Amino acid sequence: MELCWCLLFSLIVSAVAVPIDRTKKKDENQIKPDSTDTGLYYDRYLREVIDVLETDTHFREKLQTADVEDIKSGKLSTELDLVSHHIRTRLDELKRQEVSRLRMLIRAKMDAEQGENVQIDHLNLLKQIEHLDPKNSHTFEARDLELLIRAATKDLENYDQAHHEEFKRYEMLKEHERREYLKTLDGEKRQMEEARFKELKQKHKEHPKVNVPGSRDQLKEVWEETDGLDPNEFDPKTFFKLHDTNSDGVLDEQELEALFTKELEKVYDPKNEEDDMMEMEEERLRMREHVMNEVDTNKDRLVSLEEFLKSTEKKEFLQPEEWETLDETQIYTEEELRQYEKELSQQETELNLKVEQLRKEQEDLQRRQDELDAQKKEYQQALLQMEQKKSQQKAEAPPSGPEGQLKFQPPEARADVQAPVNEPAQVQPEVETLDRAPGHRVDQPAVPGHDTQPGENRPDGAVPQ
């Protein structure tokens, strides 16, 4: 990143330090890796806006001549109206995506706190967000750039203090858990554990002397051990250019923190039980703050060559006071620890209440599930009984013919039915199906004794001559 962008967002690229391996030769054609995450909830949006604006020639030229305070205050945002159309179009798209993302976050948060059936006024909630203009959710205007720069500057200036507070709570939690653990031990085991704790603490303090960050002794040690140069030939200007790794003419906070690696290695080793790597990062932050307070005279969170050379002329550079490491510093007081433990107790109480509420809800859901299972079982049993009843009725039904119809049995063939007594048998008349003589009605039955046609109803079937 060039100087103009370092001035604009120096806080962004240096919020968190990453040690640099100087044993590797710098490759000018190497692709620049992504900067360390700032920790801001709008970090991605911020970086994407920077990347888009960085491609506009006019805007870059204005940045090179801009004053640092004008940049931080947002004055430079008025130049946004002069950027090319495709740049504005891309910025509009980025803003719409960010507004959509924020709405999703708001919705998720409200659902988690109040349940899903809740009406949300997204516009009213977006007004509480400071890094964009929520009144216009479709286009990226000069107001959006101004708000973005102001918000990033303010938030990242408070980053160090927020990190210190987080570390303090981390240390208090460690001590609280240690004391709670001791309460679970009997007298002899408690004494053994306390003795072991003191031994580890004392072992951690037994390390080589740590040079004051930014002092002549500290820089000469880097010059000799990291750069591999003769300590008697130490030259501040050459040192500055060696450690300006991106050749932008300034040392940002990330480049400064890389200078403290050798000092930190004197105190912290990840292989040692007594060394806490969280403490090492806090120590790195303290060292960087110390150098910035001593060297960064214009408070732009960057060290220019001029500022660096002037700092080498100070008495503190040649004869600094002894550096106190974290193990020699009181991070919190007993009063702060008691207050923190009180907060933990309140949180534990609230958590237990929520657990109890969830337990009751679980029991209620289980009861409802049991009722549904019982109803389902009753339904299945009723259905099974109906199927069994149908099968039984089918088995008891009379046998059927080949075509599935009941066979006909005449009354005399049935044992349980007696034929009528003294009643003449009924003879069904036969219907002649042969051809009749002309004029004879086919539908009239032949009756015995009635005149018939010749040859009809004769026993021998003969026709009279």
Residue 17 has pLDDT above 50, yes or no: no
Q: What is the pLDDT averaged over residues 445-454?
A: 50
pLDDT at residue 59, rounded to an integer: 83
Confidence of residue 32 (pLDDT cuts 50, 70, 90): very low
C-alpha span between 167 and 231 (Å, rounded)? 36
- d(CA 150, CA 130) in angstroms, rounded, equals 9
List, for residues 146-155, the tens digit of each pLDDT value. 888 888 877 7
Would you state the pLDDT for residue 83?
84
Tokens 């408690």, residue? 190
Q: In terms of pLDDT, which residue wins out, 230 or 9? A: 230
Residue 350 tokens read as 């609230």
pLDDT (0 to 100) of residue 123:
58
SS3 304: strand
What pLDDT does residue 99 have? 86
- The 10s digit of each residue's pLDDT in 129-165 is 788 888 888 889 888 888 888 888 777 777 888 889 9
As a whole number, mean pLDDT of residues 433-439 equals 46
Kindly state the percentage of the chain with pLDDT values over 90: 43
Cβ atoms of 326 and 283 within 8 Å: the answer is: yes
Give me the chain's average pLDDT, please.
78
Whether the pLDDT of residue 67 is over 70: the answer is: no
Please report the pLDDT score of residue 31 as a whole number.
37
Question: Other CB atoms closer than 10 Å to residue 141's CB: what's the count?
Answer: 19
Per-residue pLDDT, 370: 93
- DSSP letter at 251? E
At residue 428, the pLDDT reads 52
pLDDT score at 34: 45
pLDDT at residue 333 above 60? yes
Share of the chain above pLDDT 70, in %: 71
In this predicted model, which residue has the larger pLDDT, 51 or 366?
Answer: 366
Give the residue carrying structure tokens 């888009």. 52
Tens of pLDDT, residue by residue over 284-330, are 999 999 999 999 988 878 899 999 999 999 998 998 889 999 988 99
CA nearest 453: which of 443, 427, 464, 431? 464
